[in-house]
Structure 1
Amino acid sequence: MKINNLVDLHCHILPAIDDGSPSLEASLELARQAVADGIRYILATPHHMDRHYLNHAGDVAAAVKVFQAELDANDIPLTIFSGQEVHLNGQLLENIDDLLGIDASRHYLLLELPHEMVPSYLDEMIFQLSCEGITPVIAHPERNAQIIAEPQRLYKLAEDGVLAQVTATSLVGAFGEQVQRTAKEFVKCGLVQVVASDAHTLRNRGFAMTKAYEVLNEMNSKYPERFATNARNLLNGDKIKARRIEVPRKQRKHWLS
C-alpha cells in the first residue's frame, strides 16, 4: 500500500451542501487533513433523500467541479469524485436517474439505513436495485442500533450479495467500545469489504484512515491490501473478490432496550 494513495469512498467534504462542512475554508482544511492521513482520492458523498437534505446528481457534480478547482488552486494533491450517501426510502427506483453511484456506471450505490433500525422493506429494495444492475454498499452498519443487537441481519444481507462499508473511526474506537467491537467482528466475518472515513468537520468525525488500516493490519496482515484494493475496484466499478462470510456473534443488548 503506497503512502498518500488511499481511496476514501465516503466523505462529507463539499462545502455548505450538508452537515459535513459549513464553508469552503472548512472544506479545504478537511482536504489538507485527508492528504496528511494518506488519502489521494475522495468520493464526495453528501446526504441525499434523507430527512434533511436533497443533493441532486447535477448539483453534486457541479459542486465537485468547483471544489476541485479550489483544491488545484491551493496545491492540495487530492482528486474528488461525485457521489451521494443515499438514504434508504421507498422512492429510490422512481428517482434512479438522480442517484450517483460509487462508480460512474452506478454498479455500486452507497446506501444509508436509518440509525435506529432496519426497515422491513429493505429486502424488496435490494431486489429492485439488483434488477437495475445495482449492488448496494451499506454505509456504517456497525453504527446501526438494530444491526449491533442483531448482527446476523448483516450476514443475511451479505448472503444476498449486499456489500458494506465500515467507518475508520469505528475501527479505532471513536464511537465507543461496542461499535468498535461490532466493526471488528464484521471485518473478521467478511461482512464489510471496505473502510472509509465518513469525515465531517464535527468533533471526533475526522479521517483516521491510516489508524484504521493499522487496526486492520493488527487483525490480519492481509486485510490492508484487500481493503485498499476493494476501494479502488468499487470506485472503478470493477468486481471485488468474494471471500467466505461467517455468521457474527450475537450481542447481548436488544436494540429496543
Structure 2
Amino acid sequence: MFGLFKKKKIAPEFNFSGIKTDMHSHIIPGIDDGAQTLKDALLLAKKFKALGYQKLIATPHIMADYFRNTPDTINRGLDILRKGLLENELDLEVDAAAEYYLDETLEKKIRQKEVLTFGENYLLFELSYINPPQNLIGFIKIMQDAGYKPVLAHPERYPYYYSSFENYHQIRETGCLLQLNSIALTGYYGSGAEKIAEEMVDNHMIDFLGSDMHHLKHAAALEESLTMPLMQQLLTQHQLNNALL
C-alpha cells in the first residue's frame, strides 16, 4: 500500500523555483546531442523559465570519439545562446561547464587543468551505460587530488550497479557527489532506473538535481516529475546544493 502511495501522482503545487538552478543540460545549440539550433535552445529556455528555474548551467558532452568539445567551443556556443536570450527578452542566467565522459583523455585534461567546472570547482562526469569503469574509486581520487569536487551524473542510469545498492554507498563514501536526473522518478528511463532513483531519495543520497535536458520530450517529463510525491519530498525536505550555485 505504501509503495503505491509513493508512486501515486498528485497535482503539482509548486515548481523548481526553490532550487533556482539547473546544473545539467544540453541547451547550447549545435555542439552535442542536445539543442541543435538556437531556436531549439530558446524553446527549451522558455520551458525552464515556466518551470521556475532562474539559472542554468549548460553542460555539453565532452567525449573523445563523439563530442570533441573544448572550453573554446563551449564558450563560443554560450555566447551565442546568451545573445539569443537577450534578443528574445528571456530573463534567464546561463553559465557553462561540461559533462565529461570517463575515458582515456579525461585524466590528462584534469592534470593539465583543462576542464570546465561549476560552482565551487564541481566537476560533472558520466560513465559508460554498458561497461563498468575499471577503477572508479581511484579516478575519483585523481579528481580530488587535483582540487576538483567530482559529481557523478545520473548514477541511476548505470544498470551494472543495480544488483547491489551498496555500490552507491561506496561511491558516495569517497566524497563523490551524486546528481539525480529528475525525470528518472517518472519512469522515463525504465523501471530499473526509477527504482534506484527512489531508493537514493529515500536514503537522502542526492546532492544535486539535474534536468539533463536535451529536447522537448525531456521538458514534458520534467514537468511531469513535479507530480511525483518523491520529487516534492526532494524539493521541500532535502538539502540540495542547486540553490547555492
Corresponding residue number in structure 2 for 1:24: 38
| Aligned: 1:223 with 2:239 | no
Corresponding residue number in structure 2 for 1:62: 76
Distance in 1, matches of 2:131 and 2:97, equals: 24
Sequence identity (%): 27
Distance in 2, matches of 1:50 and 1:225, equals: 39
Aligned alpha-carbon RMSD (Å):
2.3
Corresponding residue number in structure 2 for 1:205: 218
Corresponding residue number in structure 1 for 2:117: 101
Between the two structures, name the one with larger relative contact order (CA 8 Å, sep ≥ 6).
2
* Counterpart residue identity of residue 212, structure 1: S
Query: Could you tell which deviates more after superposition, 82-91 or 205-214?
Result: 205-214
Corresponding residue number in structure 2 for 1:139: 153
| Aligned: 1:48 with 2:59 | no
SS at match of 2:81: helix
Query: Residue 50 of structure 1: CA displacement?
Result: 4.4
C-alpha contact (below 8 Å) 1:11/1:44 kept by paired residues = yes
Structure 2, unaligned runs of 5 or more: 1-13
Query: Residue 3 of structure 1: CA displacement?
Result: 6.3
Say which of 178, 182, 186 aligns to 1:168.
Answer: 182
Corresponding residue number in structure 1 for 2:5: none
Summarize the Cα distance change of 1:23–1:92 in structure 2 as closer, same or farther, 3 Å threshold: same
Distance in 1, matches of 2:131 and 2:204, equals: 22
Say which of 186, 192, 195 aligns to 2:200.
Answer: 186
TM-score by length of 1: 0.81
Corresponding residue number in structure 1 for 2:3: none
SS at match of 2:79: helix
Summarize the Cα distance change of 1:138–1:185 in structure 2 as closer, same or farther, 3 Å threshold: same
Distance in 2, matches of 1:94 and 1:220, equals: 37
| Aligned: 1:9 with 2:27 | no
Summarize the Cα distance change of 1:228–1:46 in structure 2 as closer, same or farther, 3 Å threshold: farther
Say which of 73, 80, 90 aligns to 1:76.
Answer: 90
C-alpha contact (below 8 Å) 1:170/1:183 kept by paired residues = yes
* Counterpart residue identity of residue 218, structure 2: R
Query: Could you tell which deviates more after superposition, 129-138 or 93-102?
Result: 93-102
* Counterpart residue identity of residue 223, structure 1: L
Distance in 1, matches of 2:143 and 2:182, equals: 27
Corresponding residue number in structure 2 for 1:253: none
* Counterpart residue identity of residue 80, structure 1: V
Distance in 2, matches of 1:3 and 1:161, equals: 26
SS at match of 1:206: helix
Where does 1:116-135 land on structure 2 (aligned, <5 Å)? 116-135=130-149
| Aligned: 1:232 with 2:236 | no
| Aligned: 1:34 with 2:45 | no
